Structure 1
Amino acid sequence: MATFPLSTRPALLVAALACAALGAPPMVAQAAPVVQQQTQVPGFYRMALGEFEVTALYDGYVNLDTQLLKGASAEDIQSLLARMFVESGGGVQTAVNAYLINTGSQLVLVDTGAAQCFGPTLGGILGNIRAAGYEPAQIDSVLLTHLHPDHACGLLDEAGRPAFAAAQVHVPQVEADYWLSEAVAAQAPEGRRSMFAMARAAVAPYVAEGRLQVYGEAGPRIAGVSPVATPGHTPGHSAYRFSSGAHSLLVWGDIVHSHAVQFARPAVAIEFDVDREQAIATRRQVFADVARERLWVAGAHLPFPGIGHVRAEGEGYAWVPVEYAPLRAAP
Structure 2
Amino acid sequence: MPTRRQALTLMGAFAMWPLAPRLAIPAAAFSKIENSGFYRFKLGDLEITALSDGTLPLPLAKIYRNKAESELQKQLDANFLGTEPHVSINAFLINDGQRLVLVDAGTGTLFGPIAGKLISHLSNAGYQPSQIDAVVLTHIHADHTGGLTIEGKRQYPNADVHIAEREYDFWINRLTNVAHTPELEKDFASAKAALAPYISADRVRLFKDNAPPIPGFGSILRPGHTPGHSSIVVSSKGERLVIWGDIIHGDYIQFDDPDVYVTFDVDGREAVKTRAVALEEAAQQKYLVAGAHIPFPGIGHVVRDETMFGFIPLNYSE
Note whether the superposition's TM-score is higher than 0.5.
Answer: yes
Match of 2:6 in 1: none
User: Which digits, 9 at most, give the CA deviation of each residue in 1:9-47, with x for residues without a partner?
Assistant: xxxxxxx99854746465442211111225432100001
Match of 1:48 in 2: 42
Is 1:268 equivalent to 2:268 in the alignment? no
User: Which digits, 9 at most, give the CA deviation of each residue in 1:82-129, with x for residues without a partner?
Assistant: 2322122xx221010000000112111000000111122110011111
1:29 to 23, 27, 32: 23
Q: Which amino acid aligns with 2:254?
A: Q
1:80 to 75, 79, 88: 75
Report the 3-state secondary structure (helix = DSSP H, G, I; strand = E; otherwise coil) of the residue aligned with 2:256.
coil
Classify 1:72/1:269 alpha carbon distance in 2 versus 1 (closer, same or farther; 3 Å).
same
Report the 3-state secondary structure (helix = DSSP H, G, I; strand = E; otherwise coil) of the residue aligned with 1:120.
coil
CA distance in 1 between counterparts of 2:169 and 2:246 reads 19
Match of 2:63 in 1: 68
Which deviates more from structure 2 when the two are superposed, residues 32-41 or residues 63-72? 32-41
Which deviates more from structure 2 when the two are superposed, residues 35-44 or residues 58-67? 35-44
The unaligned stretches of length 5 or more in structure 2 are: 1-9
Q: Which amino acid aligns with 2:38?
A: F
CA distance in 1 between counterparts of 2:273 and 2:178 reads 28
Which deviates more from structure 2 when the two are superposed, residues 59-68 or residues 281-290? 59-68
CA distance in 2 between counterparts of 1:288 and 1:218 reads 18
Report the 3-state secondary structure (helix = DSSP H, G, I; strand = E; otherwise coil) of the residue aligned with 1:255.
strand
CA distance in 1 between counterparts of 2:15 and 2:76 reads 58
Report the 3-state secondary structure (helix = DSSP H, G, I; strand = E; otherwise coil) of the residue aligned with 1:188.
coil
TM superposition shift of 1:258: 2.4
1:306 to 284, 298, 302: 298
2:94 to 82, 98, 101: 101
Q: Which amino acid aligns with 1:119?
A: G
Classify 1:281/1:79 alpha carbon distance in 2 versus 1 (closer, same or farther; 3 Å).
same
CA distance in 2 between counterparts of 1:212 and 1:148 reads 16
CA distance in 1 between counterparts of 2:215 and 2:205 reads 16
Matches within 5 A, 1:1-331: 19-20=13-14, 22=16, 24=18, 26-65=20-59, 66-88=61-83, 91-157=84-150, 159-181=151-173, 188-217=180-209, 219-326=211-318
Report the 3-state secondary structure (helix = DSSP H, G, I; strand = E; otherwise coil) of the residue aligned with 2:169.
helix
The unaligned stretches of length 5 or more in structure 1 are: 1-15, 327-331
Q: How many residues align?
A: 309
Report the 3-state secondary structure (helix = DSSP H, G, I; strand = E; otherwise coil) of the residue aligned with 1:58.
strand
TM superposition shift of 1:184: 5.3
TM superposition shift of 1:147: 0.4
Which deviates more from structure 2 when the two are superposed, residues 292-301 or residues 59-68? 59-68
Q: Which amino acid aligns with 1:137?
A: S
CA distance in 2 between counterparts of 1:103 and 1:270 reads 34
CA distance in 1 between counterparts of 2:250 and 2:159 reads 31
Match of 1:10 in 2: none
Match of 1:9 in 2: none
Classify 1:24/1:251 alpha carbon distance in 2 versus 1 (closer, same or farther; 3 Å).
closer
Classify 1:18/1:207 alpha carbon distance in 2 versus 1 (closer, same or farther; 3 Å).
same
Classify 1:128/1:268 alpha carbon distance in 2 versus 1 (closer, same or farther; 3 Å).
same
Q: Is the 8 A contact 1:123 1:154 kept in 2?
A: yes
Which deviates more from structure 2 when the two are superposed, residues 312-321 or residues 300-309? 312-321
Identity percentage of aligned residues:
36
Match of 2:4 in 1: none
Match of 1:4 in 2: none
Q: Is the 8 A contact 1:63 1:94 kept in 2?
A: yes
Q: Is the 8 A contact 1:295 1:309 kept in 2?
A: yes
TM superposition shift of 1:271: 0.6
Q: Is the 8 A contact 1:241 1:251 kept in 2?
A: yes
Classify 1:115/1:262 alpha carbon distance in 2 versus 1 (closer, same or farther; 3 Å).
same
CA distance in 1 between counterparts of 2:15 and 2:287 reads 71
Q: Is the 8 A contact 1:59 1:125 kept in 2?
A: yes
TM superposition shift of 1:57: 0.2
CA distance in 2 between counterparts of 1:45 and 1:183 reads 39
Normalised to the residue count of structure 1, the TM-score between the two structures is 0.88
TM superposition shift of 1:63: 1.6
Normalised to the residue count of structure 2, the TM-score between the two structures is 0.91
